[in-house]
Amino acid sequence: MKKNNEMNEMVCPHCRKKTSRGASECHGCHATIQYGPPSWAFPVLALESTIAGLMASKFSHEVSFFIPWLIAMGAFAAGCVFLEKIFYDRVQFKLGRRG
């Protein structure tokens, strides 16, 4: 069983130094640490929700214009919660380019 202190530490894949969970940068190589969903996930989700709204409005001629977009916004909100849950433990170390 891991000690509580060990669970709050991460090892940088670039320099192999221990860094505490929640830090924004590695103490050894100064790599940026990103937590949670990747940066591309939310724009893709927004695009998919927009397409869902367009499809819903196309197939619901009798319903007001507001209802399909309300469905699309609900899908976006549910997708955001889903992304946060599936990427909960995701940690990525990114080395910056030095010029």
Inside any domain, residue 84: yes
What's the structural domain count of the chain?
Answer: 1
29 touches 12 (CB < 8 A): yes
Evaluate whether residue 9 is within a structural domain: yes
Q: Is 5 a residue whose pLDDT tops 80?
A: no
Domain range spanning residue 49? 4-94
Give domain status of residue 54, yes or no.
yes
Q: Is residue 99 part of a domain?
A: no
Model pTM above 0.75: no
98 pLDDT higher than 60: no
- Residue 52, pLDDT > 50, answer yes
pLDDT value at residue 97: 63
Residue 68, domain member (yes or no): yes
pLDDT tens figures, 56-79: 777 766 667 677 778 888 889 999
| Contacts of 33 by beta carbon, 8 Å cutoff, 6+ apart | 10, 19, 23, 24, 25, 26, 91, 92, 93, 94
Residue 31 has pLDDT above 50, yes or no: yes
Q: In angstroms, rounded to a whole number, what is the distance separating the alpha carbons of residues 66 and 42?
A: 23
| 26 neighbors 19 (Cβ within 8 angstroms) | yes
